[in-house]
């Protein structure tokens, strides 16, 4: 009797295993941009932007078409203005018969940690390919730091004969570092294309993002008016992510 009961449990376990009730998925995306001084927002200096995004999630199969579960996403970005700190990035500021020239350099780092819950709808295209529409609702913890400095590098003036003279040197340095923390809620719809490499595993490509975000808290000040919020539909490569998944 015990052997029969154990056999029933074993067959049930194998049946559940064959159905692949659970799904572990991970995605990774990276963006790099370089803007020269003509294309950069400041218009005076070049700018480098980098962004890394990683996601891990665990889901359970509801039926043949739906999965639900939880996940964690992390985003780190860095924006550096005037990265080379080069002399051609001078910003002249004339004052009467003299003028000073200097340069500024700043680095903005931004980090986000987002726990989220998700629901996925899966439709099969062929034996290997399927399309997934995922809906996510998460709470975003943000932290950013801005470090900047300004330096006077040269001084020009007009002497009694009307000739411009040039003196090279550094006269002052001003630097600052600002930190802030924010919290927000975010809702996303993320379509993806999956390709099975076997019965239990495969690769996936996320190729778009439809997102709404609303800020709730900010360490810099209390809200006076409406808090920052945004709605974004993006098909650009900056939201593309490559990943893999395992079913068990």
Residues 43-56 have pLDDT tens digits of 567 889 999 999 99
Residue 166 resides in a domain: no
Q: Considering the domain boundaries, does residue 159 fall inside one?
A: no
Is the Cβ–Cβ distance between 99 and 91 less than 8 Å? no
C-alpha angle 28/124/116, rounded to 5°? 40
pTM of this structure: 0.75
Q: Does any domain span residue 155?
A: no
pLDDT band (50, 70, 90) for residue 23: very high
pLDDT class of 154 with cuts at 50, 70, 90: low
- Run of H or E including 5: helix 2-19
pLDDT, averaged across the chain: 78
- What is the number of domains present in the chain? 1
What's the CATH number where 127 sits? 2.40.160.20
Distance CA 175, CA 138 (A): 36
pLDDT confidence tier of residue 4, bands split at 50, 70 and 90: very low
In a domain, residue 161? The reply is no
Helix (H, G, I), strand (E, B) or coil at 98: strand
Residue 229 is part of which domain span? 2-150+177-247
User: Is residue 18, in this structure, part of any structural domain at all?
Assistant: yes
d(CA 49, CA 177): 19
CA distance 123 to 197: 17
For residue 150, list its beta bridge partners.
104, 174
Averaged pLDDT for residues 223-239: 83
Query: Is 105 a residue whose pLDDT tops 70?
Result: yes
Residue 231 inside a domain? The answer is yes
176: confidence class by pLDDT, cuts 50, 70, 90: low
Assess whether pLDDT exceeds 70 at residue 95.
no
- Using 50, 70 and 90 to split pLDDT, how confident is the model at 14? very low
User: Does 158 have pLDDT greater than 80?
Assistant: no
| 87 — pLDDT class (breaks 50, 70, 90) | very low
Inside any domain, residue 156: no
Q: How confident is the model at residue 121 (pLDDT cuts 50, 70, 90)?
A: very high
In a domain, 191, yes or no: yes
Helices (H), 63-170: none
The alpha-helical segments, DSSP class H, found in the chain are 2-19
């Amino acid at each position: 009797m015990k052997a029969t009961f154990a056999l029933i449990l074993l067959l049930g376990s194998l049946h559940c295993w064959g159905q692949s009730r659970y799904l572990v998925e991970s995605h990774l995306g990276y963006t790099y941009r370089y803007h020269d001084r003509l294309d950069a927002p400041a218009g005076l200096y070049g700018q480098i932007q980098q962004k890394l995004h990683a996601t891990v999630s665990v889901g359970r199969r509801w039926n043949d078409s739906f999965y639900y579960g939880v996940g964690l996403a992390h985003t780190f970005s860095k924006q550096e203005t005037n990265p080379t700190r080069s002399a051609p990035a001078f910003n002249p500021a004339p004052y009467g018969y003299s003028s000073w020239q200097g340069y500024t350099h700043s680095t903005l780092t931004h980090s986000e940690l987002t726990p989220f819950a998700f629901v996925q709808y899966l439709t099969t295209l062929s034996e290997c390919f399927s399309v997934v529409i995922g809906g996510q609702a998460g709470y975003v913890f943000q932290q950013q730091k801005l470090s900047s400095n300004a330096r006077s590098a040269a001084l020009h003036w007009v002497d009694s004969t009307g000739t411009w003279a040039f003196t090279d040197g550094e006269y002052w340095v001003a630097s600052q570092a600002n930190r802030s923390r924010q919290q927000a809620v975010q809702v996303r719809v993320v379509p993806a294309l999956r390709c099975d490499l076997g019965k239990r595993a495969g690769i996936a490509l996320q190729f778009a993002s439809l997102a709404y975000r609303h800020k709730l808290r900010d360490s810099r000040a209390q809200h006076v008016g409406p808090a920052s919020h945004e709605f974004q539909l993006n098909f650009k490569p900056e939201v593309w992510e490559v990943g893999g998944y395992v079913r068990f």
